Amino acid sequence: MVKFTMNGSEGWKRMETTAKLSIKQLQKVFLDHRDEEVSLQHIAQDCGLSSSRELAEAFSDLLKLPLTEIPEEHHVSRELIALVPEQIARRYTLIPFRKDNHHSLTVVTANPLDLDAVDTVRALTGLEIHKTVGVEEDILRMIDQSYRAEAFIDESLQDIVSLEEGFNLEEDHASDRIEIDQLKHLANDAPVIRFVNLLLMKSIEDRASDIHFEPAEKYVAVRFRVDGILREVTPPPRSLYPAISTRIKILSELDIAEHRLPQDGRFKFKVHHRIIDVRVSVLPVAHGEKIVLRILDRDALLVDMADVGFEPDMLANFQRILQMPNGIILLTGPTGSGKTTTLYSALSFLKNPELNLQTVEDPIEYLVDGINQTQIRPNIGLDFADCLRSILRQDPDIIMIGEIRDLETAQIAIRSSLTGHLVLSTLHTNDAPSSFSQLIDIGVEPYLMAATIKLLIAQRLVRIICPKCKEEVRPLRSQIDLVKLHCPDAGHWTYWHGAGCNECNHTGYLGRTGIFEFLEVTDELREKVSTRQSNMDLRAAAIKCGMEPLAHNGFMKVKKGVTTIEEVLRVAQLG
């Protein structure tokens, strides 16, 4: 609904140029509805037009303003929504569309002649306002979608505060002493359910991989891990945290009465026609229970190998080695370095009706059609070694072991390789060559490693520069000097960074990609492994055989404008 006002004659004079409408007709229609709140559809019909779209096109033509088509999937950021209150957006039928810089805001309006609207938004925001024309129905749809979500979150938090007051909870963990039945009732109350649901929805919207609930004495922190970095989001009241944690336990089918021991569980939810798996870890801490939710998006994981971040020649060699009939391929790196994604992309590449692919995992993070996946259960005596012994009787062609943790698992992996199987697994080491000493430390004979290991890949994840706000930058001389240790020509490169925008939540980064040490085991390396050479000697030999160190591979992505020096230095050692 729009209230029309007439501010001067400039607009009328410009509208005389239209071939569709006469000035007399427009004057009559606008004057008839001058003090009424009517839809633009009604105005369009009185002007002899068939729809508000035709009226928008007329406005665009007459006033020489762009006509903005608003796609259904368009999302208005929270920052923009906060600039213009909902009642203003509805009163003037406009929506903030983009913030062009620190000084100007573009709005899409259904009535560009209404100068009151521009003056009001300019006064509210302190920004210069640029107008584009939109169709009334599209703008109202965006207002409904954007402001309803914000109001829903605010309402949920307010409901939780009201619920808290209703139970007369006090500080100093009074909420921790609620009877179990009362706590369960509270966890199933609508505001708590809505808060948890909205937090999960927001985690997907923000591309979070984890949600952390961290209780302190007088507050609870909630943080999202986005592109590997934790950032805080709006928390609930501290005294309602037991109800929220109980809600999560109920979803995960955990024991809500147990607060002394760690617990692990999982649940699923559906958003935008996608099934999202959530892995739940509960750990007792000083002021309650810390909960971490790992968000497992199947669509985000099942990527093509070309999208993982391998250089073309590296990818070709990896695919060649994956097609070997036997041997061991190991991925190394810390938790959260992308090993699982790379393993699953490799399995997807290998998936074939002619092959029997079998995995042993702890836990199964993603269920993949066409692959036989087994979850180990140490609490009932089913560990990696037990699973692997049984799997070898299942006639597998390719085996993926979630992690080699002990001698028995390593020995079965080696035996499987020696008897004609391809084995993929992971280790927790800092670089590729140190995988040999790690296996020696758990008791594996060097000659067996030399005979079976075909490929070692060390991996890290670096953030990608946001393409929307990417701009050229000149790093510090000290940073360029560090890059020159690996790339002598670094002084002649063009460097880039993200200035920060709504798309990347003003971080300058959007998404992640891998950097790698790719070590194909040669005869020279096998000889050094068999004679128990030191890590330093093995690394020197690996580089001599063509292994590109992690930092060098990362700096090549800096040279291509994919990431920044800071990101490579954050995850890779320069040695």
pLDDT (tens digit per residue) in 324-378: 999 999 999 998 898 988 998 999 899 989 999 999 988 777 777 889 999 888 7
Higher pLDDT, 362 or 295: 295
Scan for tokens 């040669």, then name that residue.
Answer: 522
Task: State the pLDDT confidence band at 98, using cuts at 50, 70 and 90.
Answer: confident
Take residue 56 and report the two structure tokens written for it. Answer: 């928008």
State residue 40's pLDDT score. Answer: 56
A 10 A CB-CB count for 177 gives 10
Angle at 229 between CA 228 and CA 235, to 5 degrees: 125
State residue 321's pLDDT score. Answer: 96
Cβ 500 vs Cβ 469: under 8 Å: yes
- The answer to whether residue 318 scores a pLDDT higher than 60 is yes
- The answer to whether residue 172 scores a pLDDT higher than 50 is no
**Is 351 in a helix, a strand, or coil?**
coil
- Find the range with the poorest average confidence among 27-41, 184-198, 315-329, 519-533: 27-41
Residue 152, burial from CB neighbour count under 10 angstroms (0-12, 13-18, 19+): middle
- The answer to whether residue 566 scores a pLDDT higher than 60 is yes
Q: Who contacts 211 (Cβ-Cβ below 8 Å, separation ≥6)?
A: 199, 200, 203, 222, 223, 224, 225, 292, 293, 295
State residue 168's pLDDT score. Answer: 41
Higher pLDDT, 59 or 282: 282
Q: Read off φ and ψ for residue 518, nearest 5 degrees.
A: -115, 105
pLDDT (tens digit per residue) in 526-565: 999 998 888 899 999 999 988 999 999 999 999 999 999 9
Task: State the pLDDT confidence band at 65, using cuts at 50, 70 and 90.
Answer: confident
State residue 196's pLDDT score. Answer: 87
Cβ 199 vs Cβ 156: under 8 Å: no
End-to-end, the C-alpha distance of the chain in Å comes to 65
Cβ 498 vs Cβ 470: under 8 Å: yes
State residue 175's pLDDT score. Answer: 44
State residue 5's pLDDT score. Answer: 39
Continuous segment of H or E residues that includes residue 33? none
pLDDT (tens digit per residue) in 216-260: 988 899 999 999 999 888 888 888 898 899 999 999 999 988 999
**Is 377 in a helix, a strand, or coil?**
strand
| Cis before 363 (ω within 30) | yes
Cβ 527 vs Cβ 447: under 8 Å: no
For the chain, the average pLDDT equals 82
- The answer to whether residue 7 scores a pLDDT higher than 50 is no
Higher pLDDT, 312 or 380: 312
Cα distance between residue 363 and residue 340, in whole Å: 11
Scan for tokens 């609490």, then name that residue.
Answer: 379
State residue 298's pLDDT score. Answer: 67
State residue 150's pLDDT score. Answer: 47
Take residue 91 and report the two structure tokens written for it. Answer: 């009163």
- The answer to whether residue 271 scores a pLDDT higher than 90 is no
Q: Read off φ and ψ for residue 18, nearest 5 degrees.
A: -70, 145
Q: Is 333 left (phi over 0), alpha (psi -120 to 50) or beta?
A: left
Cα distance between residue 433 and residue 435, in whole Å: 5
- The answer to whether residue 99 scores a pLDDT higher than 90 is no
Cα distance between residue 415 and residue 409, in whole Å: 10
- The answer to whether residue 35 scores a pLDDT higher than 80 is no
- Find the range with the poorest average confidence among 148-152, 162-166, 257-261: 162-166
Task: State the pLDDT confidence band at 184, using cuts at 50, 70 and 90.
Answer: low
CA distances (Å), origin 566, targets 146, 309, 482, 506: 35, 18, 11, 16
CA distances (Å), origin 318, targets 139, 311, 451, 457, 461: 50, 10, 19, 9, 18
- The answer to whether residue 90 scores a pLDDT higher than 80 is yes
Gyration radius of the chain over CA positions: 30
Across the range 181-203, mean pLDDT stands at: 76
Cβ 226 vs Cβ 206: under 8 Å: yes
Angle at 64 between CA 61 and CA 69, to 5 degrees: 70
